[in-house]
Chain A
Amino acid sequence: MLEVSSIYLYRNRKQVFKNFNLNLKNSEIILLEGENGAGKTSLLNMISGLINPDKGFIKIYKKSIVELGNQKKKIFTYIPDKNCLKENLSVNENLKSWLNLSNLKVNDNKYQKALNTFSLNSIQESLVKSLSQGQKKKVALTKLLLSKSKLWLLDEPLNGIDTKTITILKKIMIQHVRKNGSILFSSHVKLDLKLTKRIILKKIVNKFNIDLLDQWENFQ
């Protein structure tokens, strides 16, 4: 489903990825782990086509991300770290605007069911600016239930949500995988999912930095 091959990426003159490979098959979950700045968000941004790798290629269903163009919204759903919600719009207006942008039509029954999953029914007419951080995250995660795509890309989906919501999200993820879907997500919070493969990203330390470190140790 998703193939990341021989990726090289430099950011602010620092190498973030060096010959990085990843293969996500159908019915598979991959968890990206790693310290801050290791490149988790950069990897997800590359896969979603927001940034281009300096070398290597990314293919979804054997098509490069550039070729996919407007088809991207049908193939994958990306929930970034930021909630992408407009503060002056209500929960309903935000989700309906997203559905419109994603070219998705969802019947009212399914829509209400999705809201109900995250207990958002009672606040669906409330403005997003009046919600707590956790509630905002829940609104963002509701997009997963409304989407029809097989591939989910989630950047820190567990940030700011309570244990009850984490359990709900776990169930949703398992259901998605059982329906032949795939998930690539990053998280600092430990999520006990047996089906999950783990990839630990490590910061690349440049030779220049190692030299400096050696000099410092010698000096000491």
Chain B
Amino acid sequence: MGKLSMKNFKTLLYREFIISFKNTKSLYSYCTFFFTSILLFVFATGPDISILSPIYKPILWMITIFALILISESFVFEDFFDGSLSELQFLGYSEEIIFLSKSAVMFISLIIPNIILIPVSSILFKVNFLDVIEIITLFSISLPTITLISILSALFSLQVKRNKFIQFILIMPFFIPIIIIATSENFFVTNLGNEFKIFVLIGLFLITLPLSILIGKLIIKELNY
């Protein structure tokens, strides 16, 4: 059974990769949204960019989360509307594997542009090189968790067809712990080192993973009705 599930997971992962890399629209939207929003802050501030340096982290996180929620829909909506989501289920692929493969592909297809986008945008904000390294590290560790939550958010929005606002109300609280830990400075909790932050973020991922798989499975099943 384990071997079979692993084989199924690999098959689905391969399929999702092909679809994702053939459909560059979502990646393009992500990068465009990211840069437009960053430039908005830069141009609004004027020539004294150094004012923005201390708030680079919250700006970056806010933009990233909104961009993620925006593009996560493309990972789920297309499959739902063309019938592929149902097809995968009646071909015998479990809802858990479907959810995991989508999240994994979304994570991989986002980590690469972010590793380029974050340093480039940090130049505009005059952020220290060491700070950039720290931001990229914390961001990369948090990305699996926020990817899982974003895919869940997209599934929610499919289920709650009537009101998109509910999606934000339901999903936003899940992002808060990650944002607090990843963006907090030492004044928030005394001697909060990066090592501690990394462990907490990994812990949050380990809590989010089973919960999101369980909720994702239930929503995917519910979508058939």
Which of B61-69, B78-86, B104-112, B151-159 sits within the interface? Answer: B78-86
- Known A-B contacts A72-B92, A97-B15; the reply to A80 vs B86 at CB < 8 A is yes
Query: Residue A195 at the B interface, CB < 8 A?
Result: no
Q: Are A85 and B82 touching (Cβ within 8 A)?
A: yes
Q: Which of A11, A93, A101 is B88 in contact with, Cβ under 8 Å?
A: A101
CB distance from B77 to the nearest CB of A (A): 12
Instruction: Tell me the residues in window 50-98 of chain A with beta carbons closer than 8 Å to chain B beta carbons.
Output: 50-51, 68-73, 78, 80-89, 93, 97
- The chain A residue sitting closest to B5, CB to CB, is A70
Instruction: Tell me the residues in window 78-129 of chain A with beta carbons closer than 8 Å to chain B beta carbons.
Output: 78, 80-89, 93, 97, 100-103
- Known A-B contacts A45-B224, A69-B92, A70-B4; the reply to A50 vs B11 at CB < 8 A is no
Question: CA A50 – CA B95 in complex, angstroms?
Answer: 11
Query: Residue B183 at the A interface, CB < 8 A?
Result: no
- Known A-B contacts A45-B224, A50-B224; the reply to A102 vs B15 at CB < 8 A is no
**Within 8 Å CB of A69, what residues of B?**
92
**Within 8 Å CB of B50, what residues of A?**
none
- Known A-B contacts A100-B14, A100-B15, A101-B15; the reply to A88 vs B92 at CB < 8 A is no
- The chain B residue sitting closest to A73, CB to CB, is B91
- Chain B contact patch, size range: 20 to 34
Query: Residue A49 at the B interface, CB < 8 A?
Result: yes
Q: Are A89 and B92 touching (Cβ within 8 A)?
A: no
Query: Residue A48 at the B interface, CB < 8 A?
Result: yes
- The chain B residue sitting closest to A71, CB to CB, is B92
- Known A-B contacts A51-B225, A69-B92, A71-B92; the reply to A89 vs B83 at CB < 8 A is no
B contact patch SS: helix
- The chain A residue sitting closest to B93, CB to CB, is A101
**Within 8 Å CB of A100, what residues of B?**
11, 14-15
- Known A-B contacts A11-B225, A97-B18; the reply to A49 vs B88 at CB < 8 A is no
- The chain B residue sitting closest to A140, CB to CB, is B83
- The chain B residue sitting closest to A101, CB to CB, is B91
Q: Are B82 and A89 touching (Cβ within 8 A)?
A: no
**Within 8 Å CB of A73, what residues of B?**
91-92
Query: Residue B161 at the A interface, CB < 8 A?
Result: no
Query: Residue B23 at the A interface, CB < 8 A?
Result: yes
- Known A-B contacts A73-B92, A101-B11; the reply to A83 vs B19 at CB < 8 A is no
Query: Residue B32 at the A interface, CB < 8 A?
Result: no
CB distance from A173 to the nearest CB of B (A): 20
Question: CA A93 – CA B14 in complex, angstroms?
Answer: 12
Q: Which interface residue of A45, A68, A70, A80 has the most chain B CB atoms within 10 A?
A: A70
Question: CA A11 – CA B224 in complex, angstroms?
Answer: 11
**Within 8 Å CB of A82, what residues of B?**
81-83, 86
CB distance from A207 to the nearest CB of B (A): 24
- The chain A residue sitting closest to B80, CB to CB, is A82
**Within 8 Å CB of B11, what residues of A?**
100-101, 103
Q: Are A80 and B87 touching (Cβ within 8 A)?
A: yes
Question: CA A2 – CA B225 in complex, angstroms?
Answer: 22
Q: Are B87 and A84 touching (Cβ within 8 A)?
A: yes
Binary contact readout A147-165 vs B (1 if CB under 8 angstroms, 0 otherwise)? 0000000000000000000
**Within 8 Å CB of B93, what residues of A?**
101
**Within 8 Å CB of B89, what residues of A?**
49-50
A-B contact pairs, 23 of them (CB 8 A): A11-B225, A45-B224, A49-B89, A50-B90, A51-B224, A68-B92, A69-B92, A70-B4, A73-B92, A78-B87, A80-B83, A80-B86, A84-B86, A84-B87, A85-B82, A86-B78, A87-B78, A87-B82, A89-B22, A97-B15, A100-B15, A101-B87, A101-B93
Instruction: Taking A80-B86, A89-B18 as given, write out 14 further A-B residue pairs in contact, using a Cβ cutoff of 8 Å, ordered by the A residue number.
Output: A50-B86, A68-B92, A71-B92, A80-B87, A84-B86, A86-B19, A86-B78, A87-B82, A88-B22, A88-B23, A97-B18, A100-B11, A102-B91, A103-B11
